Structure 1
């Protein structure tokens, strides 16, 4: 792991620990007005422990990762991810750290227009590859990825979140990808929800390949501090990144 990766790893550990060790827990109903943390533009604090399995043409990937967020203030949200992969794409089982991501999200404005709630977001991802591409793990590129999006709250407990993001590498392999994403979250009875997350990336460095995919998530709030969910994943089109996948997650809310 390079020096900059070690530095970012320490920053990530701080990001995870600070919310957990804050002076007192904030109840989910008070933080973000009960917003669902599966919405990346929600004003919430959470730490998710997740596992996803995907079946690719060249083998399998088990992705174990931490996915969390906290509000630095009312206008700025910090998200973080740390991924660990177990794969067999090289013909034998390999496992190691894949990447670290730190994401800053700024909310310049939000409000209500009639019955429509909205929140505009501008942000930047800093993605650091952990240098294990020789094992078939990771992209081999450190990237910066600015994005813009809007969260639209509709009647009946439905949330729509369209996003557009540009991924550009600043070291390692060349990456130049424009990603279009649409998230829909529907609140259901008994403290459950359903989420659809459709992603259409255009890879300009790879003959405009479109490795599209979609994820369907069903989750349940166990109480004000815990939630559980399961994921179904599917690749779409000739350039799909994987055939299918499944996953699960445990969410801590505070």
Structure 2
């Protein structure tokens, strides 16, 4: 924030347009208040600002002109398949899947990730991006033992057990697919204590985690790098 305010004072001397992206603004005082401060800093002409939030009313209250408040468009079938394959089978393109069986199995996977606003599965609902990422991460993990599309269908049948899983069942796969119990425990410690530690300006975070789990700081950092690859937002403060 201090750097941004400094840029605000210097913008008349060096009026270079900038880009500011503020993601996932919440209604809590910290998230909403910090965003308001950023927007008040002022930017040179030609600058672009993007604010994302799960609440349309939040964005409307932050921006002066509501004409620019746009809902995120739904993912198309091709986009959903591309997102899934980029994670589950990196290097495989939707356009390289030529046989009908591979396309069918891929369709089964992404169609597991259709959820309504209340989190209930619905075959005609839009694709949920986080669910696509969670299921894709599970498909490329060691739990699957293979990274071929032919193995995915059997695992999906075992996972479904005759019924369609809910949104949080899909999201939980990303946690349960961690290879070792230690990784799960480190993640839980970050989720439970990390935010408070960060906000209070605590030091020695890595050494504290290392001591707690009877390991060294570098090992903890390697585990956190795995979380970042899985796109766990809760650990991005500590990367």
- Which one has a larger percent strand, Structure 1 or Structure 2? 1
Higher relative contact order by CA 8 Å / sep ≥ 6: 1 or 2?
1
Structure with max Cα Rg: 2
